[in-house]
């Protein structure tokens, strides 16, 4: 009889312990849910009272750099991640440190600066006027030359027959203008042929002459002035 009584007491104690454990679990679960609600509410950095989803306020330290750093890439590094960006990343912001895009989603990147991903066009677009603006003048070319998408002014000194100036067809935005000046005594043939190339003279930049070309898209250039 005594043994049964001890066993009953032990069993009763065990059941009480079980109930206590269950209550603790419920309390922890409730706390976790409450914490999650707080995390997905508003976040403040350097402030206890954020006024938006995320608010970052400056500190009073004169030696502490202030600001926000977004992911930084070279064009090559970002191009290697082309497949990672789609509809879910529309509007995402990055900073380009160096490089010029030529193909794929980075083809519109021409300078360093802030760029955002535009999913409807599957391209990285410059954010405002953040990119630096440069005017690129080539060194003097004395033979056939393939222009770069970043060239703005091409200096030619062609004195040998049969030379060509090949204009870029990738990495170029519609409306891009490239100017060229030939101080040599021989003309240079323009490739691809300008849209307005009905006459032989309009297929070449004449000797001792200057002209400019405008990109129309789809690999097509035309004369903007000259010839």
Residue 59, pLDDT score: 81
Say how many C-beta atoms besides its own lie within 10 A of residue 118's C-beta: 14
Residue 105, pLDDT score: 94
* Mean predicted lDDT score pLDDT of the chain: 83
Same domain, 102 and 158: no
Same domain, 107 and 159: no
Encoding tokens for residue 159?
């004195």
For the segment 76-85, what is each residue's pLDDT rounded down to a tens digit? 999 999 999 9
Give me the number of domains the chain comprises. Answer: 2
- Higher per-residue confidence, 39 vs 152: 152
For the cut 70, the answer to whether the pLDDT of residue 134 exceeds it is: yes
Q: 100 lies in a domain?
A: yes
Q: 64 lies in a domain?
A: no
Q: 18 lies in a domain?
A: no
Give the residue-averaged pLDDT of 146-173. Answer: 94
Range of the domain at 220: 145-226
Strands 220-226 and 209-217, sheet pairing: antiparallel
For the cut 90, the answer to whether the pLDDT of residue 72 exceeds it is: yes
For the cut 60, the answer to whether the pLDDT of residue 139 exceeds it is: yes
Residue 20, pLDDT score: 53
Same domain, 77 and 149: no
Cβ atoms 212, 224 nearer than 8 A: yes
Give the residue-averaged pLDDT of 33-46. Answer: 64
Q: 181 lies in a domain?
A: yes
Rounded distance between C-alpha atoms, residue 194 and residue 145, angstroms: 16
Q: 185 lies in a domain?
A: yes
Same domain, 214 and 177: yes
- Higher per-residue confidence, 39 vs 55: 55
Same domain, 167 and 207: yes
Residue 16, pLDDT score: 43
Same domain, 152 and 199: yes
Domain containing residue 190: CATH number: 2.60.120.1230
Same domain, 221 and 170: yes
Residue 205, pLDDT score: 92
């Amino acid at each position: 009889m005594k043994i049964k009584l001890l066993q009953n007491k032990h069993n009763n104690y065990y059941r009480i312990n079980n109930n206590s454990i269950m209550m603790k679990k419920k309390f922890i679960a409730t706390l976790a849910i409450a914490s999650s609600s707080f995390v997905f509410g508003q976040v403040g950095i350097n402030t206890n009272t954020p006024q938006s989803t995320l608010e970052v306020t400056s500190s009073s330290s004169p030696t502490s750099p202030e600001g926000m750093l977004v992911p930084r890439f070279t064009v090559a590094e970002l191009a290697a991640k082309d497949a990672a960006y789609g509809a879910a990343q529309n509007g995402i912001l990055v900073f380009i440190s160096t490089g010029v895009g030529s193909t794929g989603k980075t083809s519109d990147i021409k300078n360093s600066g802030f760029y955002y991903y535009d999913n409807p066009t599957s391209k990285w677009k410059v954010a405002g006027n953040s990119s630096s603006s440069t005017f690129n003048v080539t060194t003097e070319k004395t033979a056939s030359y393939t222009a770069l998408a970043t060239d703005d002014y091409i200096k030619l000194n062609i004195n040998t027959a049969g030379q060509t100036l090949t204009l870029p067809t990738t990495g170029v935005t519609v409306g891009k203008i490239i100017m060229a000046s030939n101080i040599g005594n021989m003309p240079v043939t323009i490739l691809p042929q300008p849209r307005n190339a009905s006459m032989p003279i309009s297929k070449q930049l004449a000797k001792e002459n200057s002209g400019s070309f405008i990109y129309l898209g789809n690999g097509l250039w035309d004369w903007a002035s000259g010839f």
